[in-house]
Structure formats: structure tokens, C-alpha cells
Amino acid sequence: MTLILALESSCDETAAAVVEDGVRIRSNVIASQIETHRQYGGVFPEVASRMHVEAIHAVVASALEVAAVAPADLDAVAVTHGPGLAGSLLVGVNFAKGLAFGWGKPLLGINHLEGHIYSLWLTEHAPLLRFPVLCMVVSGGHTDLVLMRDHCTYQIMGRTLDDAAGEAFDKVGRLLGLPYPGGPAIEKAAAEGSPSAYSFTRSVMSADHPYDFSFSGIKTAVMRAVQPPPTGKRVRGEESIQAGVTLPNINIADVAASFQAAVVGMLVEKTVNAARDSGATAILLSGGVSANRLLRAQMRERSALPVYYPPLVLCTDNAAMIGAAAYYRYQQGQRDDLNLDVRPMLPLE
Ligand SMILES: Nc1ncnc2c1ncn2[C@@H]1O[C@H](COP(=O)(O)OP(=O)(O)OP(=O)(O)O)[C@@H](O)[C@H]1O
Ligand SMILES: [Mg+2]
């Protein structure tokens, strides 16, 4: 049996987990800072790192306690070392180094996106997974189509050229005066609206990069739809329109539903095409946006291949997914020393 203690602090969740053999979650403790950052309409990096410092000791202690594991029982300590916010990553990496050194355990630095992908190996679908698989990592900072031919082997087939899908949800949410994060708020508002009320343009990629994404055009189209005409002439008696202000003549539910439909349509089309063209046996969704129900449903509807996604708690940031990825890295012999550093822009490939 291999027991790994994993730490995750790349953004605004301080998390620790104990994972057994890469598949069984013994504990998964997450201290979210979301209520604090909501007042800023996004993650405030300096505040995030300070809050990680305050929380990490208790979070790790709790993960060990819930798992009923003593430090001596552990085989390794793993930690996210990138990509993410430098100040946030530093807290987890330094804490993990201290634990590994103090307990005399191997240390492993793990890529956060690899963690998102491995969240699927913590589900009941794990025994069904056969390589190659097409992974869509769709989160606050990334929208990547990744072909996996074996464990820990990644080929990027497509990625966003501008905003990540989650970032687009968050920005449009702000524009519509919805609370942060925009993704869940837009999904909720969209339930009351019509997805065909607005036709938001979907970007078309060049033949050389058929699986790349672009979301800035949709975001601009939403902005145009909700902002007053530049002449200053008021139509339909509307008042000033700004983020956080009521939009009197705009049906927020309709805008939310139309925006969500446009983003989901683009994600589904490219993912299904990439999976078909690459000979993948399944589509694996991961990352915060994979919590979106329309995305899950449409992907299943449109794909001839099986589509798997993690339970909600494993979609957004957590340390269990880092422990799952670390198990395969540990098996392959990865060991890092105390020179392990944070890599805010760490690539997956
Ligand atoms: N139901 C939902 N529908 C759409 N988007 C959602 C939903 N739930 C969460 N999101 C989005 O997911 C994102 C957060 O996901 P996650 O925590 O994986 O991102 P991150 O860790 O900040 O970024 P990265 O993993 O790229 O470093 C936010 O942008 C949020 O709006
Ligand atoms: Mg993430």
C-alpha cells in the first residue's frame, strides 16, 4: 500500500489529502477563501497567500487525523508547485518541504493541471479507463485539450488563445452584476432564460489549429449586448449599465443562457472532434467548469465515446487529485529535493 500526503495551494483553496494507491481518498480537506475574495470580485493574490499561511497547518493536521494516518505511515509528501499564483504556491511548497525534511520522506512536486486530469482516477470510472484518452481541462486559468497515451504522458491538441472558459464565465458574471465566481452564478441564472435569445458569435479557428479555442469574442459580444449605445442616446428608457448595477432593460437570465450555450457549444464541438480524430477511447472532463451541467449533458449527447467527469468536490481545486497524480509519478520514480521551486507558468507537456 502506498500512502501519499498531498498539499494544494495554487490559488485560493488551502487543501490537504491522504490518498491510498492513487485511487482511494482517505481524507480530502479543503479550506476555501471564496467568501473573502468575493468582495473583490476575484482572487486578491496577496490576501490569498496570507490566508494560506494561516490555514495550512490546521488543514494538514486535519487531513492526517481524518485519514487516521501518522506521519511515519506515509510513503511520500506531494505538493502542487505550478502553475498558479507564485505567492500562494510558495506556501504549499515550503510547508511540504518542511514536512518531507522533518519526517524523512520523499518529496514530489506535481503539476496542478495533471492533478485536475487525475481527479478522474479517483472516481468509480477509473477501472474503465483505457489509453489513449482525450482530456479536457477546463478551469479558471486553462482550457486545454490533452491527449494522454499513457500515465503522465501528455500531448496538447488544443488550447485557448486568450481567456480560459472559466475566466470568461467570471468576467461575464461580473458584467451582469452576478456574484463571484461567475460560473455557478451564470449557470443558475441561465436556468430561467432562453439560450436562443441572443446569438453570440463563436470564433472559428484556422485549419492549422482546429482544436484551439477563443472566448474573448463571445465576451465582447455580451458586453456590446448589455452596454448602452455609444451615442449616449438612451433606448427603451434605460439607465446606466455597469458591472454590479441593475441592468433595467436586459434580461439577465436570457444573456446568461445564451452566453452559456455559446461557450458550451464551442467546448463540446472541438472536444468531440479532437477525440474522434485522435482515436481516443473516452473523453475525460476536469477542472472547475466541468461542474457545469449543460456542458456535461451536451458532451454526452454529442459524443459517440463515453464521457466521464468527476463529482463536484473534485472538479474545483482539491489536494486529493494531486495525491492521485503523485501516486503515478512516485511509481515512475520521481523524487524531488529541497531545491524544488514554485513554477507559476509550469507547462503540462
Ligand atoms: N457550474 C459551473 N459552470 C461554469 N463554470 C464554473 C462552474 N463552477 C465553477 N466554474 C468555474 O470554474 C473556475 C474555477 O475552477 P478551478 O478551481 O479549477 O480553477 P483555477 O484553479 O482557478 O484555475 P486553474 O486550474 O486553471 O489553475 C471558475 O472560473 C468558475 O467560474
Ligand atoms: Mg484548478
Model pLDDT, residue 248: 64
Whether 235 shows a pLDDT value over 50: the answer reads: no
CA of 316 to the centre of ligand 2 (A): 6
DSSP H helices, 68-85, are none
Residue 245 confidence (pLDDT) above 80: no
| pLDDT tens-digit series, residues 267-304 | 999 999 999 999 999 999 999 999 999 999 999 999 99
Q: What is the mean pLDDT of the chain?
A: 93
Residue bearing the CA closest to ligand 1, atom 15: 288
Mutate to test the pocket of ligand 1, among 139, 295, 296 (most ligand atoms within 8 A of CB): 139
Nearest CA to ligand 1 atom 31: 183
- Identity of the amino acid at 90: L
Secondary structure (3-state) at 185 = helix
Q: Is the CB of 82 under 6 A from ligand 1?
A: no
Nearest-angstrom CA–CA distance, 166 and 185: 12
d(CA 284, CA 275): 10
For residues 65 and 45, what is the distance between their CA atoms, to the nearest angstrom?
Answer: 29
Question: Higher pLDDT residue, 227 or 158?
Answer: 158
* Sheet with 13-20, edge to edge strand ranges: 24-32, 13-20, 3-8, 76-82, 107-111
The verdict on the CB of residue 295 being under 6 Å from ligand 1 is no
Task: Give pLDDT, residue 238.
Answer: 39
The answer to whether the beta carbons of residues 32 and 13 sit under 8 Å apart is yes
Q: Span 239-247, mean pLDDT? A: 46
pTM for this structure? 0.93
Average pLDDT over residues 178-207: 91
pLDDT digit string, tens, across residues 144-177: 999 999 999 999 999 999 999 999 999 999 999 9
* C-alpha pair distances (Å), 338 with each of 94, 98, 128, 236, 344: 9, 9, 37, 64, 18
Tens of pLDDT along 300-342?
999 999 999 999 999 999 999 999 999 999 999 999 999 999 9
Å from CA of 140 to ligand 2 middle: 7
Q: Whose CA is nearest to atom 17 of ligand 1?
A: 316
Q: Does residue 192 have a pLDDT over 80?
A: yes
* CA of 139 relative to ligand 2 center, distance in Å: 6
Residue 230's pLDDT band (cuts 50, 70, 90): low
Which residue owns the Cα nearest ligand 1 atom 12?
A: 288
CA of 328 to the centre of ligand 2 (A): 19
Element of type H or E holding 142: none
Predicted local confidence at residue 239, as pLDDT: 40
Kindly state if the Cβ of 8 falls inside 6 Å of ligand 1: no
Q: What is the pLDDT of residue 227?
A: 81
Parts of the chain belonging to CATH 3.30.420.40: 3-119+315-331, 131-309
The alpha carbon of 103 and the centre of ligand 2 are apart by a number of angstroms equal to 28
Average pLDDT over residues 204-213: 86
CATH H-level, domain 3-119+315-331: superfamily: ATPase, nucleotide binding domain (3.30.420.40)
Q: What percent of the chain has pLDDT over 90?
A: 85
The ligand 1 atom at the shortest distance from the C-alpha of residue 84 is: 27
Environment of ion ligand 2 (residues, CB < 5 A) = 139, 317
For residues 300-311, one letter each, b for 16 or more C-beta atoms within 10 angstroms of the residue's C-beta and e for the rest, the string is beebebebbbbe
Give the class (CATH, top level) of 131-309: alpha beta
Per-residue pLDDT tens digits for 246-255: 566 789 999 9
For residue 312, the CA-to-ligand 2 centroid distance in Å is 13
> Which of 295, 316, 322, 348 is the pocket-test mutation for ligand 1 (most atoms within 8 Å of CB)?
316
pLDDT band at 205 (very low <50, low <70, confident <90, very high): confident
CB distance 260 to 111 below 8 Å: no
